[in-house]
Structure 1
Amino acid sequence: MMKVTFLRSGLLDMPIDPQVKLILEQMEAKGAPPWHTLTPAEARQPIDRRPLTGEPEEVGKVENRTIPGPAGEMPVRIYTPDGQGPFPALVYYHGGGWVIGDLDAVEITCRLLANRANSVVVSVDYRLAPEHKFPAAVEDAYAAVKWLVENGSSILVDSARVAVGGDSAGATLAAVVALMAKDRDEPSLVYQMLIYPVTHHAYDTESYRENAEGYYLTKDSMVWFWNHYLRDEEDGRNPYASPLLADNLSGLPPALVITAEFDPLRDEGEAYAKRLKAAGVPVEVTLYNGMIHGFFGMPGVLEQAKKAIEQAANALKRTFSI
């Protein structure tokens, strides 16, 4: 059973947000087993997320289709806002440690972003580990954005205004796709939206020590995710798995990096933002105090989640209007 604690260790000792505290207490009461004690199949069992996400918001159009991927047809879900278009577009990658998660997991998030950014959102159902280990998810993620840039007009998208984004492992994929697009000189991307990204295959940060257990995402679960995702330790040193290890971050598109105070991944997300800034990349970085990993997907119960989604949508709108 998950052990619940409510103060961050260290100098600040800031309390956890009361709304988050209630969520953690409810999770503990339900006694759900932590991910690292499950098989991938068990961890993928569907759950009702509506109590956390809220009800789906209407958008102009939602389309399920497949696009060509490196290993065959790849499912995507396309959210189009009301209006005539052409629209800018955000290619969105769901979280889940590259092992769990699907299009349904980010349904509410994608609807909210589509409406608030007045943008098409293309949610990508990339291949999952351990059935498909690194770099399968990376290859799928890159193929999806390349397809969109080449075929944008078919779905009312202005291919000159395409951004990538995601949460957690999906944010890692977004960051890596931006790196790949720079390395390969295509496609051209205008923004990267990184919500508490995983940026380094390591567990040695202060935030890992402070938040190893008790705050939804644990160190043990991150070890479990990484072990399923990577083929070997060498993969973890590949910048397309650990973008913090990339030699040169200059020339990447502007970025938004959002982190959460009570998250093992907090420090590596902030470290990536610092490296982007040092490389001359315009970066907006925000730490949401009192929040846990996953909060961005909980606008049904967290006011801070609503604020973060608004921040992300406004950042996209500003970029798309340039």
Structure 2
Amino acid sequence: MLLQMQAAAGAPPLESMEPVVLRKAFSEQSKMTAAPPAEMSRVEERQIPGDETDIPVRIYRPITDSEGLLPVLVFYHGGGWVICDLDTHDDVCRSLAAEGECIVVSVDYRLAPEHRYPAAVDDAWAALLWVAENSTSIGADSERIAVGGDSAGGNLAAVVTNMARNQGGPELAAQLLIYPVVDIARMDRDSHLKFGNDYGLTLSGMEWFRDLYLGPDQDAKDPHVSPIYAGEFSGLPPTIVMTAEADVLCDEGEAYAQDLINAGVHVEHTSYDGMVHGFVSMAGIIDVGMQARKDAGAALKKFFA
């Protein structure tokens, strides 16, 4: 259905559009594909301190019988580090808060090309540190923190998870990686070739995002860019990996899951048959998208327990 909609709309290739125009287009598309928003106990907008500028965040508290501190998921939205924002992923965050029975802190990190790497990583890390240091002020339990994200947001979640392990904290209960970007140095895996055209996110589109994010002088194999090159994966927290069968990023997500398994990390990997990149954000028109949100929430609850 989604691919038919895109074809009927005559959508031009991503790489043919200016980022500011593409952002507006995706903002409108997200409204058409979003699920009905789950009701929250409270939604709060804040500005938190970053290294160079304040970072907008949106904090979701679910409706729950608990009056104590809740676990918290720090969430980074997808969009190739170039597009999307708090609003495009609002319904996703509401679902994760409701299904995971946790607070969700959605992070509006700086976007490329106006702010190239490492701006997004810096903001993602600053947000995690802020949540860890200010957890009680938002009603969260500092001993039950997870990070997560979809696509480029999954990349940021994987990167800050490795950073937390390497720097001795914050200790994380889990990481949630939804069709994550973990290797932008290599674009020749089977899924890149098999699903690189006509399945939503294209190979050329992914290369365009990469180039806007990195610029000409950065190393795509830097583990803070492509976490699959971290080299050491032991000691990482329980990891939830979700991949889509007909997704250009499918194989790298599966490879990352296997690398973590080989290192002794507890990994729960689910591959969603027939799904394309971005399906979790399209739960308003793709039923499996909502099921994946429920799956993610159930896994988070287990690791938060």
TM-score range, shorter chain: over 0.9
* Match of residue 220 from structure 2: 236
Q: Does 1:178 align with 2:195?
A: no
Q: Quick check: 2:39–2:62 contact (8 Å CA) kept in 1?
A: no
Counting only pairs closer than 5 Å after superposition, residues 180-259 of structure 1 correspond to structure 2 as 180-201=163-184, 202-232=186-216, 234-259=218-243
* Match of residue 37 from structure 1: 16
The count of residues paired between Structure 1 and Structure 2 equals 300
* Match of residue 96 from structure 2: 113
* Match of residue 19 from structure 1: none
**Deviates most, 53-62 or 251-260:** 53-62
Displacement of 1:54 after TM fit? Answer: 2.1
Secondary structure of residue in 1 paired with 2:6: helix
* Match of residue 78 from structure 1: 59
Secondary structure of residue in 2 paired with 1:289: strand
Amino acid at match of 2:131: L
Displacement of 1:303 after TM fit? Answer: 1.6
* Match of residue 265 from structure 1: 249
Amino acid at match of 1:80: R
Q: Does 1:24 align with 2:25?
A: no
Q: Quick check: 1:134–1:235 contact (8 Å CA) kept in 2?
A: no
Encode CA deviations 1:16-49: one digit per residue, 9 max, x unaligned: xxxxxx2211111111212111111111113142
Seen in structure 2, the aligned counterparts of structure 1 residues 257 and 233 have a Cα distance that, compared at 3 Å, is: farther
* Match of residue 288 from structure 1: 272
Amino acid at match of 1:177: V
Runs of 4 or more, structure 1, over 4 Å off, are none
* Match of residue 142 from structure 2: 159
Query: Distance in 1 between the 2:277 and 2:58 partners?
Result: 24
Amino acid at match of 1:78: I
Encode CA deviations 1:243-277: one digit per residue, 9 max, x unaligned: 01111011011101000011010000000000000
- Structure 2: where are the runs of 5+ without partners? none
Q: Quick check: 1:94–1:106 contact (8 Å CA) kept in 2?
A: yes
Displacement of 1:166 after TM fit? Answer: 0.3
Q: Identity, % of aligned pairs?
A: 49
RMSD (Å), alpha carbons: 1.0
Amino acid at match of 1:25: Q
Q: Quick check: 1:59–1:82 contact (8 Å CA) kept in 2?
A: yes
**Deviates most, 198-207 or 45-54:** 45-54
Q: Does 1:65 align with 2:46?
A: yes
Q: Quick check: 1:50–1:300 contact (8 Å CA) kept in 2?
A: no
- Structure 1: where are the runs of 5+ without partners? 1-21
* Match of residue 33 from structure 2: 52
Q: Quick check: 2:48–2:54 contact (8 Å CA) kept in 1?
A: yes
Encode CA deviations 1:175-203: one digit per residue, 9 max, x unaligned: 00000101111211110000000111121
Query: Distance in 2 between the 1:59 and 1:231 partners?
Result: 39
**Deviates most, 300-309 or 211-220:** 300-309
Amino acid at match of 1:232: P
Q: TM-score, normalised by structure 2?
A: 0.96
Amino acid at match of 1:37: S
Encode CA deviations 1:72-113: one digit per residue, 9 max, x unaligned: 210000000124231000000000000001000110010011
Displacement of 1:70 after TM fit? Answer: 1.2
Q: Does 1:274 align with 2:249?
A: no
Encode CA deviations 1:193-239: one digit per residue, 9 max, x unaligned: 00000111121100000001101100010010000000336421100
